[in-house]
Structure 1
C-alpha cells in the first residue's frame, strides 16, 4: 500500500459519511477487502450474538 492515512482526524459523523460515500475510505483499505456488502440477515446476527454471549460467559 503506497498511501497512508493523514493525521487530520475528524469525529464528525456527517463528514465521515460524505468521505465514505465519495469513496475516500477505500484508499485506506487493502485491495483484498471485498467492496460489495449486503445487509446481514437476522439469522447471522443471532449467530453472532449467541457466540458473543458464550464468549462472555
Structure 2
C-alpha cells in the first residue's frame, strides 16, 4: 500500500517558469503557491558557488 506522504509514484504535471532576471518569476511562483495547494517547489541544483545567504537543500 502506498504511503500517502510518499509522492514517488504520483503522476502529475511539470510547469517550468523561466525568464530573465527581474521579470517576475518569484512573484508568479509565490502567487501560484498561495492559490494552489497541490503545487510543489523544486530545489534548484547548480554547480556555481553558493550566494551569500543560500543554504544547501533550500
TM category (shorter chain) comes to under 0.3
Q: Tell me the TM-score normalised to structure 1 length.
A: 0.22
Q: Tell me the TM-score normalised to structure 2 length.
A: 0.22
**More helix by percentage:** 1
Question: RCO higher in 1 or 2 (8 Å CA, sep ≥ 6)?
Answer: 1
